[in-house]
Amino acid sequence: MPAIISKAPGKTILFGEHAVVYGCPAIAVPIEAVQVKVTILPVIKGSQSIIKIRNFQRFEDIPFADLEKNNPIRVPIENIFSQIGGKPPLFEMTISSTIPIAAGLGSSAALAVAITKGVSQFLGIQLSLDKINSLALQSEIIQHGSPSGIDNSVIAIGKPIYFLKNSPIVIIEIPNSLNLILGDTGKRTLTRNVVQEVRHFLDTEPTIVQPILEKIGKITDNGLNALRSGNLEEVGELMTQNHKALKELKVSSPDLDRLVDSAMKNGALGAKLCGGGKGGYMVTLCESNTLEKISVGLKSAGAENLIQTSINASLSKE
């Protein structure tokens, strides 16, 4: 039997993180420059299933049976196993990922999507995109508590999306390519914790927080129009407005603000933190002739890593 290979990209949020948890819209795009890769083989000789982790951060072999109940690798595998009757076959799964963990780029959702796709193929189960997405969301709920579902959706679909909880997902057609640079603060934070802090802020200061969430929702809707009409100056301006609103929500950090300021000083169209915030990566929209200057500026402002990528207009076509 040939090896099953399944991949899933990272993601970044252009508009609407945090507000999306409370029923506002958000816009996200897949980041193909980083990915999770899962390879699955049947175990012919041997008596147990093995997970081989081959990351730049981790390199180890673990018996599947030794993974804890809520382990982010175990959960999506068992979700698929529960779809079949009887005992699942023994397998050897190799996982490698270039998506930094706890950095706002969707590493846990990509892991869940890649495993869900790979294991279902391994077992010969045909799953619709919707089903893959909802199984990945179940894993995300165990990892994150109350995720909006935007991360698993954009990663499962692999196209730019406009996302509103409990509504059909809209694929956004973008007429011109987007040049993005993602800059790493080098700090790592758990989305679950930052989401909890925002919830606490909302519960204790609703008259302050509710208007910020509404403002982010309006920025996102304007961002959708600007993206669809190819007005990249407007997209950038709205991204920077979104960053200011996220600062008011207290999810930015001095490192994120410094990288955002540096990108803007060097001619970016817009810049903002992305994902949970308080650390991790920021994202900046650039014209192609400013990429070099902005990259050099981000490095000297302390960015520990840069991911330069482009969201191609063709990606958003059905």
* Sheet (strand 178-184) strand order: 270-273, 281-286, 178-184, 306-311
The CA-to-CA distance between both ends of the chain, in Å, stands at 32
Minimum CB distance to ligand MEV smaller for 198 or for 259: 198
Does residue 246 bind ligand MEV (CB under 6 A)?
no
What's the half-sphere exposure (Cβ side, CA atoms, 13 Å) at 32? 10
Q: How far apart are CA 164 and CA 32, in angstroms?
A: 23
Q: How far apart are CA 284 and CA 290, in angstroms?
A: 11
**Residue of 61, 66, 130, 151 marked active site:** 151
Does residue 242 bind ligand MEV (CB under 6 A)?
no
Position among 147, 160, 236, 297 found at the interface with ligand MEV (CB under 6 A): 147
Measure CA 7 to chain center. 14
Does residue 110 bind ligand MEV (CB under 6 A)?
no
151 as an active site residue: the answer is yes
In the complex, what is the shortest distance from the CB of residue 8 to ligand MEV, in angstroms, rounded to a whole number? 15
Minimum CB distance to ligand MEV smaller for 64 or for 281: 281
Task: Choose the binding region for ligand MEV from 17-25, 208-216, 222-230, 279-287 (rule: CB under 6 A).
Answer: 17-25
Position among 148, 242, 262, 309 found at the interface with ligand MEV (CB under 6 A): 148
Task: Choose the binding region for ligand MEV from 18-26, 33-41, 58-66, 113-121 (rule: CB under 6 A).
Answer: 18-26
Beta carbons of 116 and 134 less than 8 angstroms apart:
no
Does residue 137 bind ligand MEV (CB under 6 A)?
no
Does residue 111 bind ligand MEV (CB under 6 A)?
no
The 3-state DSSP composition of the chain as helix, strand, coil percent (nearest 5) reads: 45, 25, 35
Footprint on residues 26-85 left by ligand MEV (CB under 6 A): none
DSSP annotation of 88 reads: P
Beta carbons of 223 and 239 less than 8 angstroms apart:
yes
Task: Choose the binding region for ligand MEV from 10-18, 121-129, 212-220, 232-240 (rule: CB under 6 A).
Answer: 10-18
**Secondary structure element (H or E) that encloses residue 124, with its range:** none
Q: How far apart are CA 183 and CA 266, in angstroms?
A: 14
Beta bridge partners of 101: none
Q: How far apart are CA 20 and CA 217, in angstroms?
A: 8
Task: Choose the binding region for ligand MEV from 40-48, 83-91, 142-150, 253-261 (rule: CB under 6 A).
Answer: 142-150
Q: How far apart are CA 92 and CA 63, in angstroms?
A: 9
Does residue 285 bind ligand MEV (CB under 6 A)?
no
Position among 92, 151, 184, 255 found at the interface with ligand MEV (CB under 6 A): 151
Binding mask 179-208 for ligand MEV (x = CB under 6 A): ------------x---x-------------
Q: How far apart are CA 302 and CA 203, in angstroms?
A: 35
Does residue 117 bind ligand MEV (CB under 6 A)?
no
Minimum CB distance to ligand MEV smaller for 193 or for 229: 193
Does residue 276 bind ligand MEV (CB under 6 A)?
yes
Using CB under 6 A as the criterion, which residues of the chain lie in contact with ligand MEV when the complex forms? Answer: 13, 17-18, 20-21, 147-148, 150-151, 191, 195, 275-276
Active site residues: 151
